[in-house]
């Protein structure tokens, strides 16, 4: 049995232990990505916050990511290796921050 949730419910699902894993804008980008994934595949996704926090990580910029993945030269190189989710600022402009699917 599945329930369709709103972005607000998605944000509220991050308990105290996980509330700081993603910024507000990061949660928005991740929510939109997961919704698009469901629509394009026809597959429902179970809301499992622990799995989401294990599978995805938000980075402030490429330099921060390179501290964990030292063989990444640039964003194009990163996009060739894993799912890349850009984060937009509240005004709609793209920020330096992004989310990747961990690999």
Model confidence pLDDT, tens digit, residues 53-74: 999 999 999 999 999 998 999 9
Give the SS3 label for residue 10. helix
Count up the domains in the chain and report the number. 1
Longest alpha-carbon distance in the chain:
43
Q: Cα–Cα distance between 74 and 72 in angstroms, integer?
A: 6
CA 81/CA 89 separation, integer angstroms: 25
Q: Is residue 77 part of a domain?
A: yes
Q: Per the domain annotation, does 2 fall within a domain?
A: no
Residue 41 in any domain: the answer is: yes
Average per-residue pLDDT in the chain? 93
Full-model pTM: 0.89
Residue 70 domain flag: yes
Per the structure, the complete domain to which residue 63 belongs is given by 7-101
Beta-bridged to residue 81, according to DSSP, are none
Would residue 14 count as lying in a domain? yes
Is residue 64 within 8 A of residue 102, CB to CB? The reply is no
Which band of pLDDT confidence, cut at 50, 70 and 90, is reported for residue 30?
very high
Residue 37 lies in a domain: yes
Instruction: Of 16, 5, 22, give the one whose Cα is nearest residue 100.
Output: 22
């Amino acid at each position: 049995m599945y329930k369709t949730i709103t972005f607000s419910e998605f944000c509220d699902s991050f308990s105290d232990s996980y509330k700081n894993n993603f910024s507000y804008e990061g949660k928005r980008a991740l929510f939109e990505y997961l919704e698009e994934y469901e629509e394009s595949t026809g597959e429902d996704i179970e809301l499992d916050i622990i799995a989401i926090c294990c599978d995805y990580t938000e980075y402030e910029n490429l330099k921060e990511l390179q501290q964990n993945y030292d063989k990444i030269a640039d964003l194009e190189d990163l996009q060739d290796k894993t799912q890349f989710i850009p984060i937009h600022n509240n005004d709609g402009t793209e920020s330096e921050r992004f989310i990747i699917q961990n690999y």
